[in-house]
Amino acid sequence: MSCESWLTQNPDAAAFKRNGDSIFRELALFQDYHGLPAFKDALVQFMSEIRGNKVSFDSNKLVLTAGATSANETLMFCLADPGDAFLLPTPYYPGFDRDLKWRTGAEIVPIQCTSSNGFRITESALEEAYKEAERRNLRVKGVLVTNPSNPLGTTLTKKELQLLLTFVSTKQIHLISDEIYSGTVFNSPKFVSVMEVLIENKYMYTEIWDRVHIVYSLSKDLGLPGFRVGAIYSNDDMVVSAATKMSSFGLISSQTQYLLSALLSDKKFTKNYVSENQKRLKKRHEMLVRGLKKIGIRCLESNAGLFCWVDMRHLLSSNTFDGEMELWKKIVYEVGLNISPGSSCHCTEPGWFRACFANMSEDTLNIAIQRLKAFVDSTDNKDDIQNQQHSNKKKSFSKWVFRLSFNERQRER
């Protein structure tokens, strides 16, 4: 059942009624910017369910925002001053350049991750990023990770999360875990929230406890980006207080909160919805990976998200970002497919692309793969022709040299 189907079966929620009576006037008046208690309670319960009920969340530590974009920017305002820096592992969501920097004056220093280990975060990469910030005279205030990753479609391991917690604890900085894709995990390993690792390692109420913050949203897990529902979760009372005051610049409407509190409280619906969504994502992911493999294109092994991290390095005219942009333009204008070049995600290696598979029908996905196959085949044919022409030129040159040398020898005789 989709959210739209749920609304059809629950007309009172859509009509803003309670026990058959309209509450439109009540919702139309000014509301407390802390948010509707019923919605906050329903949201933290849903967050726990998404994480297998391995962690619980306190609604008093939740700050509502108009989407994850607003949540991330609000956290930047709370944690960093203009000129301070946050470290982000590459490749990362291109929108962070806007969300974290434009109005806050904060800077991003990349944690350089590479394909040699599947773009995993390492201690050496963290330390090098920290040193790079120091070389640029930037004060590092924290690390921000997306788990599951956009654009990689992978989940962070417990080992990586532990490494991050140790690093931020040693440096006495913050950790923001953007977990807006937590309900999209369709394959093993399962999603592990940073909150779960905090509790397992008995970090509760230690100095690191207050410096870990979670960003969440219903845009991806429920497919409701237009509703603009996001949240910040923090154990730091000062962050919660400051972020709550700032949330008045980007509130979720009372009508939206009322509607979604009813939807999220329907446990049978949310359980079935998330399960079905994960099944469909898995099927669509397998279709794309299998289709690309048949035409000689591989993807980074992934288990979550709405996209694949596609390796097209072998199709580059040159192993440069100029070569990547040349290939991207061909795919956009000649093939008619809109994929994101890795350079837009600050990838350190040219030739990687993000391909979204969740926003189209299976028929459309098949057409996309067919178009890409035709493009790859034509590219291979051009290469074959060029190689043949090059080979013929070499042969002609060899024959010419042979004839010349033969004639010279004849004259010498």
Task: State the Cα–Cα distance between residues 158 and 165, nearest whole angstrom.
Answer: 10
Which of 40, 61, 101, 220 is flagged as catalytic? 220
Task: State the Cα–Cα distance between residues 65 and 71, nearest whole angstrom.
Answer: 6
User: In degrees, to the nearest 5, what angle opens at C-alpha 137 toward C-alphas 99 and 240?
Assistant: 40
Cβ partners under 8 Å of residue 48, min gap 6: 55, 56, 57
Task: State the Cα–Cα distance between residues 300 and 308, nearest whole angstrom.
Answer: 7
Positive or negative: CA dihedral 49, 55, 59, 65? negative
Asked about 252 being catalytic, the answer comes back as: no
Asked about 220 being catalytic, the answer comes back as: yes
Sequence-distant contacts of 24-29: CB under 8 A, at least 24 apart: 27/254, 27/255, 27/258, 28/254
Task: State the Cα–Cα distance between residues 20 and 260, nearest whole angstrom.
Answer: 18
Asked about 130 being catalytic, the answer comes back as: no
Which of 50, 121, 180, 369 is flagged as catalytic? 180
Cβ partners under 8 Å of residue 251, min gap 6: 31, 33, 64, 66
Q: For residue 341, is the peptide bond before it cis, meaning its omega torsion is within 30 degrees of 0?
A: no
Q: For residue 189, is the peptide bond before it cis, meaning its omega torsion is within 30 degrees of 0?
A: yes
Asked about 180 being catalytic, the answer comes back as: yes
Q: Report which of 295, 167, 178 is spatially closest to residue 233, judged by C-alpha positions.
A: 178
Query: Would you say 234 and 240 are in contact if contact means Cβ atoms under 8 Å apart?
Result: yes
> Annotated active-site positions, please?
93, 178, 180, 220
